[in-house]
Amino acid sequence: MNGTISIRINELTKNFGATHALNHLSAEFAAGSLHGIIGPDGAGKTTLLRIVSGLLHPSSGTVEYVTDGAQTAFESLRPSIGYMPSRASLYPDLSIEEHMVFFKNLYQIDEHEYARKHDELLAMMRLEAFKDRKAGALSGGMYKKAALMCTLLRSPRVLLLDEPTNGVDPISRREFWELLYRSAAENILIITATAYMDEAERCGTVHLIDSGRQIATGEPGALLEAEGAKDFGDIFIKKTAPAAS
């Protein structure tokens, strides 16, 4: 599917027994932008991404997908959504090259398109010299880049990333964000979840969530100024501190 895709979530809730992972969460994710879902562990970030990707169903509320201004059924754009989970997603005994062939067959990508994407992505990720290395032998940063490359192989219009830089060294984190900026420049909607507060300022729009609720949203610089905060940790403390009795 061509065209830009935006997503709206309305009063989204998700309960796992007595645990309320999402609590009437509403947000808008504009097409062709880089959005950050920022929050501590247990805030509901992974649950939100799994619902948006179609892996989970909400307990209540709705997710709306809009293509070029027209509401679109999820099933028709499912192939346009790429999801990179936080947990290990590659087979440790397969090489990077073998993973690319595996996902080519899984996504049914034609040979001409695959040849182009294969060389383009290896060069973008700077993994040409490591394409025969098994995933289990990759460093943390190389592993994340290889996983992103496999996700981008199908040319998604929406990219959902769950804690993509968790456990990655500072240099690899910077390189990873450069890759995201290159993807965003191609008018892809990117939603990335992270607990790293310093990464919030790298996003075009941030959505701060805690206990399944959105506590603040906006352009990072404008949000910090509006809240009178020096960093996003300050905003979380301000918004989540218990009221004085």
Domain boundaries of the chain, sorted by first residue: 5-88+158-240
Region 80-108: mean pLDDT is 92
Q: What is the pLDDT of residue 47?
A: 96
Q: How confident is the model over 137-168, as pLDDT tens digits?
A: 998 889 999 999 999 998 899 999 999 988 88
| Matching CATH number, 5-88+158-240, of 3.40.140.10, 3.40.50.300, 3.40.50.360, 3.30.720.210 | 3.40.50.300
Dihedral sign (CA 130, 153, 207, 14): negative
Check: CB of residue 230 under 8 Å from CB of residue 237.
no
pTM: 0.91
Q: Which of 98-107, 136-145, 163-172, 186-195 has the lowest mean pLDDT?
A: 163-172
- 6: tokens are 């935006």
Q: What is the pLDDT of residue 243?
A: 54
Q: Which amino acid is located at 106 in the chain?
A: L
Do the Cβ atoms of 49 and 81 come closer than 8 Å?
A: no
